[in-house]
Amino acid sequence: MSAHAYTTPPAANPHSKLRPSRYWIAAVVAGVVVLALIASSLLNYVYLETIPARASLYGLLAVALVALGTFIGVRAFTRDRASRRKHLIRAGVLLGLGVLLWLLVIDVFVFTQSAGPTVAAICALACLPTTAFGLLVVRRMDRNEKEPWRLVLVAAAWGAIVATSLVIWGESLWDATAQHTLVPGPGLDASIAFSAGLLEELAKGAAVVLLFLVMRDDFDDVVDGIVYGAAVGLGFNFLESVAYMTNIYSIFNPEGIGWEAAGIQWYARQVLGLFFGHATYTAFIGAGLGVARQLPHLRQKALAILSGFLIAIAGHFAWDAWLTFFPIDPGVLGLLEFHLRTLIMTGPFTAAVIALLLFGIRYEALGLVDQFRKEAASGSGTILMDEVPVLASPWQRLKQRLLAFRRGGFKAYFEVARLQSAQLDLAMERWHRERKEMDTPMEAEAALRQRVLELRHQVPAS
């Protein structure tokens, strides 16, 4: 028997029965989301404030087009090159239509709000660079195998458009009922905080669940889960920031301090709370799903997913309910209190998610190094034994790419980057197959191996 046979793990599930059931669950989740959106928009239109509700109703078609467009677009990359272009064009047309319709809806919505379109546009522009920075940082947290931008952006778009639309009706109904029945004060605050924690985290979490179910090849472990979860949270935070800034501007503008008030909101949500807030909460949902991805038993998987949701809901609840227990002094001391409040209340949650992330990165790295060695020992030529220390370290990989850059410019840099990326993909595939977490056939691994060999021929020997 050859060395290759000893070191290549057998196909864990070459003809998995998991894939169809996963897709069925995803279809059910998507169906529930669509129904909830339709119900929410109709009920908003009938019972709540007419203008925003009308926007929400008209926005349904835009949301559906964007959802369908992104689904087709994302799936296009898993198809062969011949049909990929056709699917990408379809996705592009649908996305374009959706965006146009959405802009129209926003236009109508914004023009009928007291802040006006200029203020809304300025607020959105102010939030764009900070949110983009947040997404860049979050994506870079995955040191070994960065998530594709298309999925990170889909996650953020869901958080901004779909999740916010999902919660309007539920939160409005809950808040209105509470305000008409409960005693104003901490009890009412707690009730509204339960509504925000529960409904917003469920709406954001639905996106991470769908990515977990549909894009399994790009959802490897706890690190990926945290990246996707945080991206959804950043998207939600973007639209919520714009809404709060425009609202607070219109409230305080007659007093002559509209921009100051909006600026404080921007700082609180887009600087201080960029990572200490929605990004942290939803990252926990992703962490739960990521851990579940690698657990062997169904009961453990279910508990891990439930735990992620529970932590996210509790973190969100704690901030909303107990914020008022930390009053801010109007003087200079208030500046310090303002920052300390965020650090004390959300800091422990952010620290906990960072701890999970660091442990996850270390765990992933150990698994990959093990697979680099096994693949090198197999003699397939995809990974050489002296490449293992380089592939094992992000800094060494960067150093190798920079050396290539010095030798052959950008072309050489990207050739080496593509080779490293393909080698990491192969090791990741082997890792999952060895752990029996794989439902793609063995041919997928053979194709990855072939791709590495092709890329190796393009890279000149160093």
Partner 1 sequence: MSVAPYDQILTLYRTLLVFATVAVLILGVGLVEFVYFEPPGQTTGKTAHIVGVLEYDPATRTTKGPDRTTFARTDEFAGVVDWSQLPPDLMVDARWFNSFGSIVGRVGPGTAAELGPQSTVPVIVPPGLHHSLPGHYTFVVERLKDGQPVEVLARRIVLIER
* Residues of this chain that bind partner 1 (CB under 8 A): 114, 179-180, 182-191, 193-194, 222, 250-252, 254-255, 284, 287-288, 291, 294-295, 300, 303-304, 306-308, 310-311, 313-315, 317-318, 321, 324, 352, 355-356, 359-360, 363, 366
DSSP state letters, 223-238: HHHHHHHHHHHHHHHH
- Please state the closest distance from residue 182 (CB atom) to partner 1, in A: 6
- Please state the closest distance from residue 204 (CB atom) to partner 1, in A: 16
- Please state the closest distance from residue 348 (CB atom) to partner 1, in A: 9
**Nearer Cβ to partner 1 (335/366):** 366
**Nearer Cβ to partner 1 (144/294):** 294
- Please state the closest distance from residue 207 (CB atom) to partner 1, in A: 20
- Please state the closest distance from residue 51 (CB atom) to partner 1, in A: 13
- Spatial CB neighbours of 215, under 8 Å, sequence gap ≥ 6: 74, 151
In angstroms, the CA 141 to CA 349 distance is 17
Residue 131's H or E segment, with its range, is helix 116-140
- Please state the closest distance from residue 321 (CB atom) to partner 1, in A: 6
In angstroms, the CA 98 to CA 94 distance is 6
**Residue 64 has which token pair?**
């559906």
**Nearer Cβ to partner 1 (7/307):** 307
61: nearest Cα among 45, 41, 91 = 41
Question: What is the 8-class DSSP label of residue 276?
Answer: T
**Nearer Cβ to partner 1 (337/370):** 370
- Spatial CB neighbours of 58, under 8 Å, sequence gap ≥ 6: 101, 104, 105, 108
* Residue pair 319/189 in contact by the 8 Å Cβ criterion: no
**Nearer Cβ to partner 1 (65/305):** 305
- How many residues in the chain? 462
- Please state the closest distance from residue 194 (CB atom) to partner 1, in A: 7
**Nearer Cβ to partner 1 (107/260):** 260
- Please state the closest distance from residue 242 (CB atom) to partner 1, in A: 18
**Nearer Cβ to partner 1 (283/452):** 283
- Please state the closest distance from residue 150 (CB atom) to partner 1, in A: 27
**Nearer Cβ to partner 1 (129/327):** 327
**Nearer Cβ to partner 1 (69/290):** 290
HSE at residue 228, side-chain half, CA atoms within 13 A, is 33
* Residue pair 65/29 in contact by the 8 Å Cβ criterion: no
DSSP state letters, 156-198: HHIIIIIIHHHHHHHHHHHHHHHHHHSPTTHHHHHHHHHHIII
Distance of CA 60 to CAs 93, 94, 144, 189, 214, Å?
A: 17, 14, 38, 31, 23
